[in-house]
Copies of this chain bind each other. A is one copy, B any other.
Amino acid sequence: MRGELDAELVLSQSLPGGRATLEGVLPGLAEEALARSLGKGVVGRMGPWNLEGDRLTLTLTAENGRAHQALLALTRRLKVELGRTAKVGVRTVRALRYRLTFDVPKAPTAPVSLPIPHQLRFGDGQATLELEGLDEEALRDNWSDRAVTLVEDKVLRQHYQGKEQYWKLLSQSPARNLTVTEDPTEAMLRRNWLRNGPTKGKWFLGPLPAHLLRTMERIAIDEVLRPLGFEEVVQPHHDSFDILLKTGHLEGVPGEFYYVAEPKSRDPAVWERFTDLVKITRKVPEAELANLVSGPVAVSCYAQCPTTYWWLSGRTIAQEMLPLKVFDRAAISNRYESGGRHGLERVDEFHRIEPVYLGTPEQLLELREQLLARYAHVFNDILELEWRTAWVTPFYMQQSGAIGVEDETQRIKGTIDFEAYLPYRGTREASEWLEFQNLSIVGDKYPKAFTIKTQKGELWSGCTGIGLERWLIAFLAQRGLDPTAWPAGFRKYAGELPREIRFL
């Protein structure tokens, strides 16, 4: 990457002596700043410069993307120098234009947009991005780096658009003799076990499915989590924007959140007109309400692990506590699913146990084997499911080469999906199986993002979300609603079932 930066510094007043005052010092200061900022062996230089009144303009070029850092370093030095010799300060510094030229392995197939002022050209395996008008904060905050990454990422995505997610079979249970072919949600609705909730994609579970959901929860805790030493935590249900900025969720899935807004005031007098309108009209005065409530300030839990990492943020965990193993089942997961809802398995609200673990890479590899063994025990011996596991990797991880997908046995980081066959969807071969569970080792991404440390060595993390509705649907789709047809191991856990509520 090559960078060329046209900068403008506005001084606190016209410089006494004008250009002559700077001629002796500016080149030296620039050289120093460039040497410090660009790193060893990277060539950079200051081009033509000019002073008119209180405005100093100059050009910096660099063989890498650090010219803006050199500009900030030069500004600091100039402040000291001019303050000392001429009692003149530097009021503002900004990049009028910042041209960055970098390789792009593939040519774009469609226009690439950016939300800040810029020009962008592609040719000869390269892109030239010219950013316009970056102020000091934008320079300090490395917007230029992120803009380049964004361009690279957008071009890459254009090429992968519509391509299948990487999927490679890892294990497969024996086929089972399954006789049920009914959609379990339909069957439960017919019996009044369920009611489609008062808001989109959410269900009210009557006593029978509630009992079965809690049975799945007990199996997960007693057969998987307790034997492996996981401890429960109770985390808040609202996720802050700060957390979601750190994990990348805010840029990744902003269209899938349920947002949270607060009353601007709690004073009943402020709400009087609203409440009076409700009392008289028995309707929601929407315009009135919109004025009394804030914009979005947080989101309803999307996944629990981000807030678990937040809990440990800024802390150093004693070595003896590793691997740290905790789980949350208090926060409810909300996802705005829009059109894709189906039954209890694809919903806007679900109940998930989210186990999170932190430790050395070796500890997490060992834990993964233990978890896989406990899950296999549950799915084979208690639920007696037909299921399989597969390595799955988002395209950008394949592309980045971070994972050696050629040699599966060497895999450390990555995600394993657990999938169950749903007979109501069709044949084993042609139908889509249900992802009802996953298991990930993520590496040091989250400990780094949340500044979680230990006494020595690398700290990695991972999680293995247990979707209780999905466990339930996988089981009922294969085994049906008749308890006498359920495996003995599950019947024992379920115990006595609640009676069905009789409505007339």
- The complex places the Cα of A441 from the Cα of B6 at a distance, in Å, of 75
Cα distance A261–B262 in the bound complex, in angstroms: 11
What size tier do the contact residues of chain A reach? 35 or more
Is A76's CB within 8 Å of the partner chain B? no
Check A295 against B286 for contact (C-beta < 8 Å). Answer: yes
Instruction: Knowing A272-B113, A273-B115 are in contact, say whether A234-B205 is a contact too (CB < 8 A).
Output: yes
Decide if B271 touches A263 in the complex (CB within 8 Å): no
Tell which of B143, B214, B281, B326 touches A280, judged by Cβ atoms closer than 8 Å. B143
Chain B residue nearest to A275 in the complex (CB): B251
Provided the pairs A257-B263, A274-B254 are in contact, do residues A296 and B296 lie with their beta carbons within 8 angstroms? no
A76 → chain B closest CB, angstroms = 23
Which residues, 52 to 69 on A, are CB-close (under 8 Å) to B? none
Determine which of B204, B251, B295, B311 lies in contact with A278 in the assembled complex, contact meaning CB atoms within 8 Å.
B251
Q: Are B260 and A260 in contact, CB atoms less than 8 angstroms apart?
A: yes
Expressed in whole angstroms, the minimum distance between the Cβ of A290 and any Cβ of chain B is: 5
Residue A232 at the chain B interface, CB threshold 8 Å? yes
A243-280 CB contacts (< 8 Å) to partner B: 243, 245, 250-252, 254-263, 265-268, 270-280
Beta-carbon contact of A239 and B198 below 8 Å: yes
A293: CB under 8 A from chain B?
yes
User: Does A432 reach chain B (CB closer than 8 Å)?
Assistant: no
Dominant secondary structure of chain A at its interface with chain B: mixed
B233 close to A204 (CB less than 8 A):
yes
Structural contact, B250 and A284, CB atoms closer than 8 A: yes
Please give, as numbers and ranges, the residues of chain B lying within 8 Å of A392 by CB-CB distance.
none
Q: Does A79 contact B (CB under 8 A)?
A: no
A491 at the A/B interface (Cβ < 8 Å)? no
**Contact A279 to B150, CB < 8 A, known contacts A207-B233, A318-B502, A504-B455:** yes
Complex Cα distance, B143 from A205, in Å, reads 37
Tell me, rounded to whole Å, the shortest Cβ–Cβ distance linking A213 to chain B: 6
19 A-B pairs with CB atoms under 8 Å apart are A113-B276, A150-B280, A198-B243, A198-B310, A199-B260, A202-B236, A211-B231, A214-B234, A234-B351, A250-B284, A254-B292, A255-B266, A257-B263, A258-B261, A260-B260, A261-B261, A263-B336, A317-B503, A318-B502
Q: Ordered nearest first, which 9 A-B pairs have the shortest CB separation?
A: A202-B236, A318-B502, A198-B240, A207-B231, A205-B234, A266-B338, A316-B504, A251-B278, A197-B236
Chain A residues in the interface with B (C-beta under 8 A)? 113-116, 138, 141, 143, 146-147, 149-150, 195, 197-199, 202-207, 209-211, 213-214, 231-243, 245, 250-252, 254-263, 265-268, 270-284, 286, 289-290, 292-293, 295-298, 300, 307, 310-311, 315-318, 320-321, 324, 326, 330-332, 334, 336-339, 349, 351, 455, 498, 501-504
Given contacts A204-B236, A266-B339, 9 further A-B contacts (CB under 8 A): A114-B280, A146-B280, A198-B310, A203-B234, A205-B233, A207-B232, A238-B349, A251-B279, A259-B293
